[in-house]
């Protein structure tokens, strides 16, 4: 009888581990979601009410990742942008 109980307990171990991993990924509060909505409200003011969804998403990602953006080499980024098409090279130069 104990062998059967031990085997049943061992069968549940992987499922319990999976459940614990899922629980650890859930936020303990909704503060991060509230901060995201507050950030979006600040970004999309009445002056920017005509902003499209793609631009809004890009701005939100940039705002949320400020620290990583500070480490980007803007000169190299501009060079890469200009070099992508012939039209950009004509407009912005070599």
pLDDT tens for each residue of 16-70:
878 888 878 876 666 766 777 787 777 777 656 777 888 888 888 888 888 888 8
Identify the sign of the CA torsion 75, 70, 27, 25: positive
Closest CA to 56 of 39, 73, 35, 79: 39
Q: How far does Cα 72 stand from its chain's mean position?
A: 17
* CB-CB contact of 64 with 39 (8 Å): yes
pLDDT tier at 86 (50, 70, 90 boundaries)?
very high
Task: Supply the pLDDT for residue 28.
Answer: 67
Q: pTM for the complete prediction?
A: 0.43
Contacts of 39 (CB under 8 A, 6+ apart): 60, 63, 64
């Amino acid at each position: 009888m104990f062998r059967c109980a031990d085997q049943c307990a061992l069968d549940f171990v992987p499922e319990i581990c999976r459940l614990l991993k899922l629980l650890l990924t859930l936020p303990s509060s909704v503060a991060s979601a509230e901060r995201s909505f507050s950030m979006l409200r600040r970004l999309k003011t009445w002056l920017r009410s005509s902003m499209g969804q793609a631009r809004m998403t890009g701005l939100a990602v940039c705002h949320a990742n400020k620290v990583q953006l500070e480490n980007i080499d803007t000169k190299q980024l501009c060079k890469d942008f200009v070099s992508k098409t012939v039209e950009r090279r004509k407009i912005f130069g070599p």
